[in-house]
Structure 1
Amino acid sequence: MERLEEARERLKAAQRVAVLTGAGISKPSGIPTFRDVEGLWRDFNPLDYATPEAYARDPQRVWEWYAWRIAKVREARPNPAHRALARLEKEVLGRGGAFLLVTQNVDGLHARAGSRNLVELHGNLLRARCEACGHRFSLPDPFTPPPFCPLCGHRARPDVVWFGEFLPEGAWERAERAFLEADLALVVGTSAEVEPAASLGRIAYASGAYLVEVNPEPTPLTPLAHLALRQGAVEGMAALLGPHLDTKGEAW
């Protein structure tokens, strides 16, 4: 309890806050995770759907899988943990501080919840990227896979980062800088196993930040955390931001 109170006080006073989120924060919204017992990789081999080679072999098959995932994302709604982070951003910026939310998720729920200082490390399911000219565009609702570029007419691919690909230009540099400079780092709903994102918590810790982890299971980051809440994202954020939550679980 003392550590939780200390974390709350440090969060209230922090001037530079960096947050990393993973699939666990979107699970309460109905978005499947990847690596737990009910995750996507239980039933689907990532080598068949999430690599450049898989797309080159059978782009229609890959697009049909992504269309299924996109439909799930469009049905989902941001949950109280997403909204809490959006309001935390406003709180920190309102007192003249700096805030950055870095997410490994591709579902767009943070933006829909109101987060603005946001880096989507792995792209966004609701966008496509032209294979020829590189133009990024939002996918219409509904759409028939595969989509085609509105500028040049060439086929487009999902605007996500597949295994073996580089992160979006500038995304890692922005994320790394925020965690290097943070006085408080918050890591929510991630296994801390997928690099390079998994290193962000360690970077913040090594730079002297107060480190908080929210995850129902221990992760490689747990031994470093000043506070590790063994809870799901919604429950953990409610515990951390308890003084700022109303009875409906809404932040502030």
Structure 2
Amino acid sequence: MSKRQKIVILTGAGISAESGINTFRDADGLWEGHDVMEVASPEGWRKNQALVLDFYNQRRRQLKTVVPNAAHLALKELEKQYEVVVITQNVDDLHERGGSTNIIHLHGELKKVRSTGDEDLIYDWEDDCVLGDRCKKGYQLRPHIVWFGEAVPALEAAVDEIYDAHHILIIGTSMQVYPAAGLVGYAPRDANIYYIDPNPSINYELQRRNKLEVFPEAATTGVRKLVDRLLV
């Protein structure tokens, strides 16, 4: 029996936005009324831990009010016929709830927290995290989120997955935020690349690809069309 082909799916804020998840960054560059460096940087954390914790507590509460959309559910169907890896920039759990089973979170996970003194101490966390919540070693807990200026621990695993992909699906991302935007550069030269976004932005890595098909539409409609084609 021949080995199943491999699909690597790169997702960004656009796929979650259709479930009602706030995409944080407004047209003026603010995240929910905050300068991004106030709530998504080590400097912001050192300056005001209570503010940062509250920001992510609000995001965690909102996550309980939304459900996976048709795009999340359709991606699960690909596992019937392909080896599938989802590499997401999103910190929500909608891919998990949508049924996908192999997910790499590049930028961390909203429903986890970690120790400020031992980054290997990571805890599942459903409710608010407040000042005084500590790890087993006594250190304050912080959001398990990759902030601006921090390393992306999952990047190496993501690169390893994309090296041997037959198909790359890019969904709901501007392809402007690195290092995620550079992942396509590690794909085989003959990989088929499909880009689904209402406002697709063809960056340098995509310009170099001749096996690129663009779907300039929302994730919920574009993903359905592509999944139906791939499941033959």
Query: TM-score when scaled to structure 1?
Result: 0.81
Once the two structures are TM-superposed, the CA of residue 43 in structure 1 deviates from its matched residue by 3.0
Are residues 1:202 and 2:185 paired?
yes
Gap regions ≥5 residues in structure 1 = 1-12, 93-97, 246-252
Q: Does 1:234 align with 2:220?
A: yes
Matches within 5 A, 1:93-112: 98-112=83-97
Q: Does 1:132 align with 2:114?
A: no
C-alpha distance in 2, partners of 1:57/1:42? 18
2:142 aligned partner: 157
Aligned to 2:193: 211
Distance in 2 between residues matched to 1:166 and 1:101, nearest whole Å:
20
Q: For residues 19 and 28 of structure 2, what CA distance do their matches in structure 1 show?
A: 15
Note if 1:46 corresponds to 2:36: yes
Q: CA RMSD in A?
A: 2.4
1:70 maps to 2:52 = no
Contact persistence 1:126–1:139 (CA under 8 A): yes
User: 1:18·1:100 contact (CA, 8 Å) conserved in 2?
Assistant: yes
Indicate conservation of the 8 Å contact 1:146/1:157, yes or no: no
In structure 2, the CA distance between the partners of 1:154 and 1:85, relative to structure 1 (3 Å rule), is same
Q: How many residues are treated as equivalent by the alignment?
A: 224
Letter in 2 for 1:136: I
CA distance in 2, matches of 1:200, 1:192: 10
Secondary structure of the equivalent of 1:181?
Answer: coil
Decide whether aligned partners of structure 1 residues 160 and 42 sit closer, same or farther in structure 2, where only a CA change above 3 A counts. closer
1:80 aligns with 2:63: no
Q: Distance in 1 between matches of 2:213 and 2:229?
A: 17
What is the deviation of 1:40?
5.7
Q: Report the structure, 1 or 2, having the larger helix content.
A: 1
Residue 172 of structure 1 corresponds to 155
Deviation at 1:157, TM superposition (A): 0.5
Deviation per residue, 1:115-134 (Å, 9 max, x gap): 11110011101110011233
What is the letter of the counterpart of residue 70 of structure 1?
R
Q: Call closer, same or farther: CA 1:140–1:21 in 2, change over 3 Å.
A: closer
User: How far apart are residue 239 of structure 1 and its match?
Assistant: 1.9
Q: 1:219 to 1:132 in 2, by over 3 A?
A: same
Output one character per residue of 1:189-214: Cα deviation in whole Å (capped at 9) or x when no partner: 0110111110112332x632111000
Unaligned runs of 5+ in 2: none
Residue 146 in 1 paired to residue 131 in 2?
Answer: yes
Verify the 8 A CA contact 1:33 1:39 in the aligned structure 2.
no
- Cα distance in structure 2, aligned partners of 1:161 and 1:40: 18
Instruction: Name the residue aligned to 1:10.
Output: none
Please point out which of 173, 177, 195 is paired with 1:190. 173
Q: Secondary structure at the match of 1:207?
A: coil
Separation of aligned partners in 1, 2:81 and 2:108: 26
Aligned 8 A contact 2:75 2:227 in 1 = no
Q: In the aligned structure 2, how far is the partner of 1:124 from the partner of 1:81? A: 20
**Counterparts in 2 of 1:232 and 1:63: CA distance versus 1, 3 Å:** same
Aligned position for 2:202: 220
Could you tell me how far 1:111 is from its partner in structure 2? 1.1
